């Protein structure tokens, strides 16, 4: 008897059929791959970036800016290159020696508040063009590769609208490339600088840079800039012109608050700082009773003293003069003299 016959003889004889065995488990059916988001449309992404940059009409004229004659002459010559481009480069043959002559890059440098932004808008107004103003914050991104794309978009916005392209705080954008690259962020900085150089070479419009720290520029950018124009602090004549604008006829003031006097106490201040000085002094005056609501020398002197003390406190200016280091005029109040002594 074979093995299986022997097993059959020993099987139970209950008469019931053996229980059916459950079918073997089947492997789960393969799931279709999860849907992936569509790849971004590169053209649409580029258009979105371009749209982030505002294209605006200029608010100022060059005539509105208080400038020394030397700076005004320089700016006039740079604008003339654009206005008379056809004569210079076609009729006079400059295209044969300057094939990149359609690009005009201008660098405006000087202390804060001297009118660099106004100059940029004045140039755009002179050329009857809109202006695209770009700050460092609008270009910089924490994501790798995004900053170069924003740079390209800024140039494209100016190109599409025939606008003057103005980079404020340009030392942050045109700084020296890094030689000791130790991390990905360093590499990103160098890539951004290289993209800026490439876009500047390809651009055929007007680019204006403004900075307080021109010495930080990479030499490659300096070489590509047609004109470097210093916008300095105003001299006495310039401050008197500014004072004329900062003391409008509708502003109530004492008879001895003259433009000449305001210019004399504003030595070393920029036009923007003189504006803050007048606004601060007027704010002091408006808090008094109605019959005393007028701008006085006390207001302006006190504001100037506080302003200079604040500048000294943050390390950007010499300390305010002591009362014994500056001759006091007869009509200065004792309160002003006391404030000087207290601050110094």
Whether the pLDDT of residue 100 is over 60: the answer is yes
CATH class of 236-343: mainly alpha
Q: Are 166 and 131 in contact (CB under 8 A)?
A: yes
Whether the pLDDT of residue 101 is over 90: the answer is no
Whether the pLDDT of residue 344 is over 60: the answer is no
Domain ranges of the chain: 42-230, 236-343
- Does 236-343 match 42-230 at the fold level? no
How would residue 225 be classed by pLDDT, with cut points 50, 70 and 90? very high
pLDDT at 29: 61
pLDDT at 88: 94
pLDDT tens by residue, 9-29: 444 555 555 556 666 666 666
Whether the pLDDT of residue 162 is over 90: the answer is yes
pLDDT tens by residue, 114-160: 999 999 999 999 999 999 999 988 888 766 678 899 999 999 999 99
CATH class of 42-230: alpha beta
The residues with which 228 forms a beta bridge, in sequence order, are 107
| CA–CA gap between residue 246 and residue 118 (Å, rounded) | 16
Mean pLDDT of 260-289: 95
- 47-56, 138-147, 166-175, 263-272: least confidently modelled range: 138-147
Q: Residue 13, class by beta-carbon neighbours within 10 Å (0-12 exposed, 13-18 middle, 19+ buried)?
A: exposed
Whether the pLDDT of residue 323 is over 60: the answer is no
């Amino acid at each position: 008897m074979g093995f299986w016959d022997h097993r059959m003889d020993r099987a139970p004889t209950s008469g019931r059929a053996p229980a059916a065995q459950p079918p073997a488990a089947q492997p789960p059916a393969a799931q279709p791959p999860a849907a992936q988001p569509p790849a971004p449309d590169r053209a649409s992404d580029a258009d979105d970036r371009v749209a982030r940059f505002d294209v605006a009409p200029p608010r100022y004229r060059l005539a509105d800016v208080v400038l020394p004659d030397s700076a005004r002459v320089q700016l006039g010559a740079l604008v003339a290159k654009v206005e008379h481009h056809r004569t210079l480069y076609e009729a006079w043959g400059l295209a044969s020696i300057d094939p990149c002559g359609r690009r005009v890059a201008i660098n405006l440098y000087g202390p804060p508040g001297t009118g660099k932004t106004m100059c940029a808008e004045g140039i755009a107004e002179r050329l009857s063009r809109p202006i695209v103003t770009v700050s460092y914050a609008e270009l910089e991104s924490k994501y790798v590769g995004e900053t170069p794309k924003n740079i390209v978009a800024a140039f494209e916005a100016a190109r599409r609208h025939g606008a003057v392209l103005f980079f404020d705080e340009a030392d942050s954008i045109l700084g020296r490339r890094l030689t000791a690259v130790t991390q990905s962020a360093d590499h990103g900085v160098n890539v951004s600088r290289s993209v800026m150089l490439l876009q500047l070479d390809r651009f055929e419009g007007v680019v204006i840079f403004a900075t307080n720290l021109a010495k930080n520029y990479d030499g490659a950018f300096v070489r590509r800039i047609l004109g470097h124009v210093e916008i300095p602090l105003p001299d006495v004549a310039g401050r008197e012109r500014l004072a004329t604008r900062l003391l409008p006829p509708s502003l109530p003031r004492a008879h001895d608050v003259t433009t000449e006097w305001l210019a004399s106490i504003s030595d070393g201040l920029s036009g923007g700082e003189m504006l803050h000085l007048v606004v601060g002094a007027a704010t002091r005056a408006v808090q008094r009773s109605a019959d005393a609501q007028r701008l006085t020398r006390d207001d302006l002197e006190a504001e100037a003293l506080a302003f200079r003390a604040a500048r000294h406190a943050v390390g950007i200016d010499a300390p305010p003069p002591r009362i014994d280091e500056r001759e006091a005029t007869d009509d200065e109040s004792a309160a002003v003299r006391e404030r000087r002594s207290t601050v110094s």
